[in-house]
Amino acid sequence: MVEVILSFDICHEINFNYKTDIIFHEENPPHENGMTIAAFDTKSNQTGFETYYSIGGGFITTAHELRHGNITHGSRIHAFLTSAARARCFVPGPGSHLHGIGIDMNKLFSEQTRRRAEELAISNRVQFIHNDAAGYVAEEKYDVAACVGATWIAGRFAGMVELLGQSLKPGGIMLIGEPYWRQLPATDEIAQACGVSSRADFLTLPGLVGALDGLGYDVVEMVLADQEGWDRNEVAKWLTMRRWLQANPDDDFTAEVRAELNISPKRHVTYAREYFGWGVFALIAR
């Protein structure tokens, strides 16, 4: 049966037929994973219309936001890039009005992102610096400053908040990506089994949000990884290590990579999956 009843806020119901009420368009959209929703009254007059795109990581954006950016016109982004994938996330789309600068010590990642910017014909609006981001302060103030996954270069999140704040305009948004304990390990031995030095390495989620508040910032948004998302992040490393071992049997690091692959899956499912959390927090200074 393909016809169902859709209930809206329990107070209104409409008939819905999968075969006739979903129309697939073959065109060239700004993103491949999108849906246009139109609403009509009983006389077939259109009363509402919007196109939404699922852009990954749990984020939903409208067509206008995707084409033009949902940050104000001319906004500038200052980002500490920690991987090729994260670096490419900070490359604004060809229809946006964003300008940005990124810093990364990994020359390969910087070059990959620079090539991506060239493909999108936006090299004149983004700059990628191959350098150490520790202690880096931008020459001009930015609307958005971000460090997603590398706060350790400034002594963890408190130091990174202080560092990024020096490159941020008043009222600007700071993005901090930081691990936390989903549940606090009972002993340091359990924390070490998770792959860190001690329980003191991270805070719980309430502790982290409280600490950010204590630094003089309002937490205005957050996106937290669930366990399945954490799985996807970790298991990708296992396949990468396996393929690297096959391709490099005589490399100096082969024994070290083999040891890590031997323990990593067991460590993840036994400890890290249950104890580790990770999120990105949007902050605005008070």
CA distance 92 to 98: 6
Backbone angles phi, psi at 64, to 5 degrees: -65, -45
Given this model, what pLDDT does residue 83 score? 39
- Dihedral-angle region of residue 193 (phi above 0 means left; psi in -120 to 50 means alpha; beta otherwise): alpha
The model's pLDDT over 210-255, given as tens digits with 9 standing for 90+, comes to 999 999 999 999 999 889 888 988 898 999 999 999 999 999 999 9
Task: Give 11 or 246, the one with higher predicted confidence.
Answer: 246
Q: What percent of the chain has pLDDT over 70?
A: 79
209 contacts 283 by C-beta, under 8 angstroms? no
Q: Which of 90-104, 152-166, 253-267 has the highest mean pLDDT?
A: 253-267
Whether 110 has a pLDDT exceeding 70, the answer reads yes
Question: Nearest-5° angle of CA 113, CA 163, CA 69?
Answer: 45
The model's pLDDT over 143-170, given as tens digits with 9 standing for 90+, comes to 888 888 788 888 889 999 999 999 888 9
Whether 89 has a pLDDT exceeding 60, the answer reads no
Structure tokens at 82: 């920690």
Q: In whole angstroms, what separates CA 164 from the centre of its chain?
A: 17
232 contacts 238 by C-beta, under 8 angstroms? no
What pTM value is reported for the model?
0.66
Whether 109 has a pLDDT exceeding 80, the answer reads no
Question: Nearest-5° angle of CA 193, CA 197, CA 202?
Answer: 100
Whether 189 has a pLDDT exceeding 90, the answer reads yes
Q: CA nearest 180: which of 271, 270, 276, 282?
A: 276
DSSP class of residue 144 equals E
